[in-house]
Structure 1
Amino acid sequence: MSDARRPKILVALRPSGAEPPGLRDKVDGLAELGFVTDASEITAEWEDAEAVFVWNFRSTVVPDAARRLSALRWVHVAAVGVDASLSDEVRDRGIRFTNSRGVTAESMAEFALSFMLAFAKELPRFGADKTARVWRPVETRMLSGARLVIVGMGEVSRQLARRAHALGMSVTGVGRRARVAPVEHFDRVVVQDDLHEVLATADYVMLATPLTEQTAGMFGSAEFAAMPTDAVLVNVGRGPVIREDALLDALRSGLIRGAALDVVPKEPLAPEHELWDMPNVILTPHISSDFQGWEDAMVDLFVENLRRWTEGEPLRNIVDLEMGYAPLDT
């Protein structure tokens, strides 16, 4: 492809301004790249950009600059969640979106599994005992035979179900639609209307849903009340899926045993926030997807999709703009 025909692609960087590792070399003449951290940095010469690579998944460059980017045809987000890049105007224009589904799924599934193991084997208690220099043996629980409910049926959920099933857990999935055919590693899959019924059976509940208009605040007081008091909530998806006031009430009152949270509604979590001091809470700073080499893998997926886009081939991970995520085939 000659320089005159190379498409212009804006890269929406994180606030630090650091470029995606190896991006310039890997693009290698497929496109002309421009780098910005917010919409105000887009100059007139870049208003004809045909694509945006959203390296910072929290960036609002696309909706903020949509009117100026009249030639925009494709947006690729270096994450699974694309909510920050969407707006009514973007949807109405029919701009094609792709995401990075699958790149971090195994890491996030391992994180969710480690959270469940930590609660089963009382690791927070033993950590506190070590700090206090207290030798206090206790009986711990088995994951084998435990009941896991996974809310969301994406790639992370499939990877966790495979691992949980191998450990002898029973696994129930909650999805948007009923499945006639069995889904591998799930004992059964129910629809959202059956959520409370299956929550009542759970030892562990894992949330792995995208953040959409339908899922924002979907897990609140009624859902916590439906869970057994001995159950643990795990969230590696998006923080705003949970209503924070309901979560805090459930943890304070003992309505649930505890929670393991890689995400919270407002990040970073404020130093004075109550969650820091709750002994029945495990917190990590939104890093379940950050395995060694994850950034390189994100870049590789974008470059593969860029090659497909320039050559007119089908793109990977096309996002349904109404649903707000890239659905799996089954």
Structure 2
Amino acid sequence: MTDIVVLRGGTHGLPMEEYAAELRDRLPDDEVALARTPAEEREYVSDARVVTGGSIDEDLLAEAEDLELFACAYAGYGHLPLEEFRDRGIAVTNAAGIHAPSIAEQVLGFLLTFSRRLHEGWRRKQNREWRHFQAFELQGSTVTVVGLGAIGHAVVERLEGFGVDTIGVRYTPEKGGPTDEVVGFDDEAVHDAFARTDYLVLATPLTDTTRGLVDSEALATLPPESVLVNVARGGVVDTDALVGALRRESIRGAALDVTDPEPLPEDHALWNLENVLITPHNAGHTPKHWGRLADIVAGNVSRLDTDEALENRVD
């Protein structure tokens, strides 16, 4: 019997061999098999207790007769056959939280870049220009974080010591949060928060509520010196409205790790705006990716034999 099967295919551009090695290191008494072909996937999952990977289709799932846990290697799980998992009593977990440290560090990098205008320094260095330019301080500003999950919490934690005021936006504001103030997603509360915001950080899942949240009206509500930082999903922002606001300089700038569309076409207007920083959905990339996920999965493998709740269970 194969205890754990790692499905083939890269995840976030990272080789699955490293993931399998991390699991073997943490679970030396279990057999961890890496499936490299469709045939190996069918063979290995047939008697596997745990299967992990980015996704699994219903045909392959049907082959997994002894499966107890599917450990999704993504934070998102809407693409999985959840109803089939439920019908068969198979637990499902995800990778929520493993990207939070690297994404939060990138957010801090974006905030400091715009507060100290480091991108302008880089531009002048490229042109060999020794001319002073106006910079600002992050201290004393208001940072609004939309989404207080693992990433939002990590961002706020890293802002401690910078002397900023923080506002959090979440679905259930009555739960509170690590920010100085927490509001819900109703239009009045959100726009009131946006009107007081110097740096708007988007760290929320893309849902019916958040799709197009930052539209032309929201952008008009932001102060002209404000900066938008998006590490959520491109669809949270109305891209055309953002381009218009940046061109008019009705906001100071934007730092985007995600865009809509994505990948961003070579001829898109965002590439040519000097008040925009763009990274290619890269904030979650870290050499610690597989180690953090393996910690979660290995812990859950041990919990399968106890009544302890599984970490990151989503079903």
Q: Give the structure-2-normalised TM-score.
A: 0.83
- Tell me the equivalent position of 1:13: 9
Instruction: Find the partner of 1:191 among 184, 187, 197.
Output: 184
103, 107, 130: which is aligned to 1:108?
Answer: 103
**Corresponding residue pairs, total:** 309
1:265 equivalent in structure 2: 260
- Give the AA of the match of 1:122: R
Distance 1:252 1:64 in 2: 50
- What amino acid maps onto 2:288 in structure 1? G
Secondary structure at 1:61 match in 2: coil
CA distance in 2, matches of 1:24, 1:52: 12
Residue 33 of structure 2 aligns with an amino acid whose one-letter code is L
Paired residues of 2:45 and 2:51 also in contact (CA < 8 A): no
Cα separation, partners in 2 of 1:25 and 1:129, compared to 1, 3 Å: same
Alpha-carbon displacement from aligned partner over 1:200-228 (angstroms, at most 9, x marks no partner): 11000001112344433333223222212
Give the SS at the match of 2:153. Answer: helix
CA distance in 2, matches of 1:262, 1:270: 14
CA positional deviation for 1:288: 1.8
Query: Corresponding residue for 1:317?
Result: 312
Q: Aligned with 2:267: secondary structure?
A: coil
1:130 corresponds in structure 2 to 125
For 2:251 and 2:59, locate their aligned partners in 1 and report how far apart those are by CA, in whole Å.
41
Structure 1 residue 50 displacement after superposition: 5.1
What whole-Å deviation, never above 9, does each CA across 1:217-244 have from its counterpart, x for those lacking one? 3332232222122211101222232232
Separation in 2, partners of 1:68, 1:140: 60
Matches within 5 A, 1:99-248: 99-179=94-174, 183-184=177-178, 186-193=179-186, 194-248=189-243
* Structure 1 residues 148-173: Cα deviation after superposition (integer angstroms, max 9, x where no partner): 11000112212221222321100000
| CA positional deviation for 1:176 | 0.5
- Give deviations 1:254-291, integer Å, cap 9, x for gaps: 23211111122344333333222211111122222223
SS of equivalent to 1:130: helix
Point out where structure 2 has 5 or more consecutive residues left out of the alignment.
none
Task: Quote the Cα distance in structure 1 between the aligned partners of 2:103 and 2:67.
Answer: 32
Identity score, percent: 32
User: Residue 150 of structure 1 contacts residue 207 of structure 1 at CA under 8 Å; is this kept in 2?
Assistant: yes
Q: Which residue of 2 aligns with 1:288?
A: 283
Tell me if the contact between 2:103 and 2:284 (Cα under 8 Å) persists in the aligned partners. Answer: yes
Deviation for aligned residue 1:125: 1.3
- Higher deviation after alignment, 107-116 or 66-75: 66-75
Q: Shift of residue 71 of structure 1? A: 5.8
| 1:121 CA drift (Å) | 0.7
Indicate the larger mover: 213-222 or 135-144. 213-222
Aligned equivalents of 1:152, 1:252: Cα separation in 2: 27
CA RMSD after TM alignment: 3.0
With the length of structure 1 as denominator, give the TM-score of the two structures: 0.80
Match of 1:35 in 2: 35
Query: Take 1:41 and 1:270, find their aligned partners in 2: how far apart are those partners?
Result: 37
SS of the equivalent of 1:112 reads helix
> Partners in 2 of 1:118 and 1:254 — Cα distance?
18
Instruction: Return the alpha-carbon distance in structure 1 between the equivalents of residues 244 and 85 of structure 2.
Output: 38
Q: Return the offset for 1:29.
A: 4.3
In the alignment, the residues of structure 2 paired with residue 219 and residue 91 of structure 1 have an alpha-carbon distance, to the nearest angstrom, of 35
Structure 2: distance between partners of 1:267 and 1:63: 28
Match of 1:317, as an amino acid?
Answer: N
Distance 2:119 2:165 in 1: 25
3-state secondary structure, aligned to 1:249: helix
Task: Summarize deviations over 1:24-50 as a string: whole Å, max 9, x none.
Answer: 62343435535258x798436635655
Residues 183 and 46 (structure 1), Cα distance of their counterparts in 2 relative to 1, 3 Å cut = closer
Distance 1:245 1:88 in 2: 37
What is the one-letter code of the residue matched to 2:180?
A: D
